[in-house]
C-alpha cells in the first residue's frame, strides 16, 4: 500500500538555526497532514495540505505540498527549545485512515 518516508530521521540544531524535515511518497497523495509529538507526549495535529503547490505558514513554521503531490516539507525558522519533539507527516486514504511516516526527531541545543 501507499507509504511515506521521512528524512532525516534525527536532526540536532543549535537554537536559532533553521530546520527542515521532508516527507516523500512514490505515489500521488490526495492530502498530507503534519503532527508534532513532544517527548513523552502524544501527537498533536498541526496542519493539513490538499492542493498542489500549497504553502501554509504558522508563525515560524512553513508547510509545503509539492507540485506533483508526492512530497511535503516542514520548515522551522530560528528554532527554539520549545520546538523539540518528533514531527510526523501522515496521509489520509480513501477509507479515512491515517498512515504515518517514521518521523523526524528534532533536538535543539540552547
Residue in 42, 59, 82, 94 binding another protein, rule: CB under 8 A: 42
106 phi/psi in degrees, rounded to 5: -105, 125
Examine residue 20 and tell whether it contacts another protein (CB under 8 A): no
| Residue 56 CB neighbour total at 10 angstroms | 15
Examine residue 92 and tell whether it contacts another protein (CB under 8 A): yes
Q: Which stretch binds another protein (CB under 8 A): 11-19, 58-66, 76-84, 88-96?
A: 88-96
**Nearer to another protein (CB atom), residue 95 or residue 110:** 95
How far are the Cα atoms of 45, 63, 88, 91 from residue 19, in angstroms, in the given order?
19, 12, 14, 22
**Nearer to another protein (CB atom), residue 82 or residue 96:** 96
- Cβ atoms of residues 20 and 89 within 8 Å: no
Residue in 41, 52, 67, 81 binding another protein, rule: CB under 8 A: 41
Amino acid at each position: 500500500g501507499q507509504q511515506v518516508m521521512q528524512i532525516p530521521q534525527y536532526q540536532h540544531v543549535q537554537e536559532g538555526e533553521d530546520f527542515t524535515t521532508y516527507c516523500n511518497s512514490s505515489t500521488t497523495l490526495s492530502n498530507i497532514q503534519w503532527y508534532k509529538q513532544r517527548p513523552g507526549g502524544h501527537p498533536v495535529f498541526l496542519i493539513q495540505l490538499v492542493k498542489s503547490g500549497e504553502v501554509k505558514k504558522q508563525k515560524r513554521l512553513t508547510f509545503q505540498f509539492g507540485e506533483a503531490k508526492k512530497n511535503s516539507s516542514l520548515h522551522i525558522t530560528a528554532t527554539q527549545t520549545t520546538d523539540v519533539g518528533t514531527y510526523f507527516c501522515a496521509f489520509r486514504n480513501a477509507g479515512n485512515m491515517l498512515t504515518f511516516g517514521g518521523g523526524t526527531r528534532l533536538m535543539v541545543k540552547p
